[in-house]
Amino acid sequence: MDFFILDENSNLILNKIEILLVPEFAALWEPSHNKAPNDRQGYNRLKAYREFKFLKLVVDWDSPYKTFTEQDRRNTSIEDCQMTSQELNDPKFIAAYKKYEKMQITPQVRLLKSSYRLLDEMSLYNETVDLTERKDDGSYVTDSKKAGSGLIDLSKILASLESLELVVKKQRDANAKQVRGDVPLGTFD
Q: What is the pTM of this model?
A: 0.64
- Residues 87 and 49 both lie in one domain: yes
Could you report the per-residue pLDDT of 152-178, keeping only the tens digit for each? 777 788 888 888 888 877 776 666 554
Which class for 100: exposed (0-12), middle (13-18), buried (19 or more C-beta within 10 A)? buried
Does residue 171 or residue 184 have the better pLDDT? 171
Residue 189 lies in a domain: no
Q: What percent of the chain has pLDDT over 90?
A: 30
One domain, residues 82 and 129: no
Boundary-marking domain end, from 85, 104, 123: 104
Domain boundary among 104, 124, 139: 104
Q: How many structural domains compose the chain?
A: 2
Specify whether 111 is located in the same domain as 75.
no
CA distance 42 to 35: 4
Residue 102: CB atoms within 10 A of its CB come to 10
Last residue of a domain, one of 87, 104, 121: 104
Is residue 188 one of the residues assigned to a domain? no
Q: What are phi and psi of 137, to 5 degrees?
A: -85, 0
* Together in a domain, 91 and 116: no
| Cα-Cα end-to-end distance for the chain | 10
* 99 and 16 within one domain: yes
Asked if residue 78 and residue 142 are part of one domain, the reply reads: no
Same domain, 8 and 100: yes
- pLDDT tier, 180 (very low <50, low <70, confident <90, very high otherwise): very low
Amino acid identity of residue 48, one-letter, is A
Q: Do residue 8 and residue 88 come from a single domain?
A: yes
Q: What are phi and psi of 6, to 5 degrees?
A: -100, 140
- Shared-domain flag, residues 75 and 10: yes
Regarding whether 57 and 84 lie in a shared domain, the answer is yes
In a domain, 53, yes or no: yes
Among the residues of 35-143, which ranges form H helices?
46-58, 70-81, 85-88, 91-104, 107-128
Looking at the fold, whether 66 and 151 belong to one and the same domain comes out as no
Distance CA 10, CA 7 (A): 5
**Residues 87-139 pLDDT 10s:** 999 999 999 999 998 888 778 878 877 888 888 888 888 788 788 888 888 88
Q: Which domain holds residue 9?
A: 4-104
Contacts of 172 by beta carbon, 8 Å cutoff, 6+ apart: 1, 2, 62
Cα 172 to Cα 119: distance, rounded to the nearest angstrom:
23
